[in-house]
Chain A
Amino acid sequence: MKSLDKEHVKHVAKLARLRLDENEVSKYEIALNQILEEIEKIENVELTTNVELIAPTENHDLYFHDTVKNELKRNIVLKACGVDETHEYIEVPKVIADEEN
């Protein structure tokens, strides 16, 4: 794996929705390269299987009965979201970018 330079660090930060100042970029450049050097060790392993262990569970295609439960009361959910209990909906920040953006 090639090492990460400052531009790579900024790109990864962008993918991770993080904003770094120049000091942080320098700091993370060192730290990330340290970690990537460690990760590189996996390249030495000769594979003897094609099986991928995604999670150590034997549960596959597990189903439970669909039953309607009134678990969450409207007023409790609204209160937890910081919204007045008389509201009909939860307000969230606008997540559609303006056209010019």
Chain B
Amino acid sequence: MKKTNYLEKSFKELNELLKNKVITPTDLVEEAFARIEESDLNAFITLDKENALKEAKELENMEVDNVLFGLPIAIKDNITTKDLRTTCASHMLENFMPIYDATAVEKLKAKHMIIIGKTNMDEFAMGSTGETSYFGNILNPWNKKLVPGGSSSGSAASVSARIVTSALGSDTGGSIRQPASFCGIVGLKPTYGRVSRHGLIAFGSSLDQIGPMTKTVEDNAILLNAISGVDENDYTSKDVTDDFTTYLGKDIKDLKIAVPTYFMSEQVNETVREKVLEVIHHLMKQGCVVEEVNIPYLEYAIPLYQIIGLGEASSNLARYDGVKYGYKAPNYDSLEDMYEKTRSAGFGEEVKRRIMIGTFMLSGENANQYYHKALKVREMLTDGFRKTFEKYDLIIGPTNTNVAYPLGQKGDDALKSFYDDILTIPVNMAGLPAMSLPIGFTEEHLPIGLHIIASYFNEGKIYTLASYLEKYLNLSLDPNKKEEETC
């Protein structure tokens, strides 16, 4: 088969080619599967080649009526897809076949996007390296000895490697933004309530959001347009509509931007900090007001996540008991025996650890002493953000304290994966929207991400700044074109 490179192009470029009949959806699907066959990233758990090709063929007889028409997309494997296996990268759901689509997936299908497959991830979205998957490690396309970040590891890796045009991820404490940063792509966690959680297999229900992961800022805005909106099946979704593409390319000179002191502290790798400072200096030269601020309680993000996030997780994952869903132990003597054997064999180590912490935090006196106190500290942290947004349009800093690191480095360190999300968790606690945008590379040619945070339902301002920086920086972000000497 002739090798093509259409998947390096943006949504709009592909849309033009499809409208002018230069290419067909089948060409794009075939290219995606050719790239998957060549890839050793382990980015997918389940592929849907037969249906994808069938759908592509059917679309050839239809009018190209929107910019997402006929484009191949990948879906994180904790988002339900009708009649397409959805595993959460767990033995527990290894053979789970959903009977309905998540609302976000329904919306993409209505636009005639073509689902290529389900992406590999940390088990039940618990992890920051892609190493807790039951289906094996996912590799970073920039350096295959490194982790891609997580938990939306396969979504980030497949978009970065240009295997698909885009992907959906989910973010409970940084699971879209951290891998986006490690893989050099654009990843957005929308405001809590912007995108329906219906069909997103629950981890921390007050923290989870589905979001777009793309090569470019414009693609990201287009994809968010498609998946956002109120949904009767998610009572936390909000009836606010917006066209995020209208914010692209707007003037940035009147933007007031805050940089929390905590985000630029010694815990952040020096190269990452320098790269963020370069961006800050440039924005100031363009007329933006950029000021250092103190947002209180940011330093409590990890204990808050461990108490609230894992408390919610232990409750949500109680449903996997061998009765209703997924794996069931084959031999057991009693009901209790069945529960324990099923859950002990069905869950991996990281998931079990997190369930136990959550169970402990919600049990007996601990609920009063820790859980209820954590909810009050969460309010105090959120109030700090609210007050900051009374004066500023955006908050920026690094997405992560570091860049991608070697596979296996986490080892038995129970805290490492939490510390990877130290700068991203506060955003989930407050329910704010935030993006990771690539702003450069280390000397080892590893991508560095800028964290851009806005107030509630103000994703538009994020897109304004991100589209400006993307154009100004003009980075080469295709790992397939990385020069050999930088490997």
Min distance, Cβ A36 to any Cβ of chain B, angstroms: 8
Binary flags per residue of A27-40, CB closer than 8 Å to B gives 1, else 0: 11011101110111
Question: Which of under 10, 10 to 19, 20 to 34, or 35 or more describes the interface residues of B?
Answer: 35 or more
Q: Is B360 an interface residue (CB 8 A)?
A: yes
- The answer on a CB contact under 8 Å between A35 and B415 is yes
Q: A20-B344, A28-B353, A64-B232 are in contact. Are A49 and B359 (CB under 8 A)?
A: no
The verdict on A48 contacting B380 (CB below 8 Å), with A38-B418, A59-B235, A98-B334 known, is: yes
Please provide the chain A residues from 45 to 84 with a CB less than 8 Å away from any CB of chain B in the complex. 45, 47-59, 62, 64, 71-72, 76-77, 80
**Per a CB cutoff under 8 Å, which of B238, B356, B382 touches A53?**
B382
Q: Are A18 and B355 in contact (CB under 8 A)?
A: yes
**Number of A residues contacting the other chain (C-beta, 8 Å)?**
53
Docked complex Cα distance between A15 and B367 (Å): 14
- Picked from A17, A32, A64, the residue with its CB within 8 Å of the CB of B357 is A32
Contacts of B338 in A (CB 8 A): 93
Residue in contact with B376 in the complex, picked from A52, A95, A98, A101, CB distance below 8 Å: A52
Contact of B99 among A52, A72, A92 (CB under 8 A): A72
Given the complex, which residues of A lie within 8 Å of B193, measured CB to CB? 57-59
Please name all residues of chain A whose beta carbon is closer than 8 Å to the beta carbon of B378 when the two chains form the complex. 52-53
In Å, the complex CA distance between A38 and B398 comes to 23
Q: Contact at A62–B235, with CB atoms within 8 Å? A: yes
Beyond A16-B314, A101-B335, whether A58 also contacts B306 by CB under 8 A is no
* Interchain CB contact (< 8 A) of B373 among A28, A38, A45: A45
Residues of B within 8 A of A (CB): 97-100, 192-193, 205-206, 232, 235-238, 297, 300, 302-304, 306-307, 314, 318, 321-324, 328, 334-336, 338-341, 343-344, 347, 352-353, 355-357, 359-361, 363, 369-370, 372-380, 382-383, 412-415, 418, 429-432
Chain A residues engaging chain B, CB cutoff 8 angstroms: 1, 4, 9, 12-13, 15-20, 27-28, 30-32, 34-36, 38-42, 45, 47-59, 62, 64, 71-72, 76-77, 80, 92-98, 101
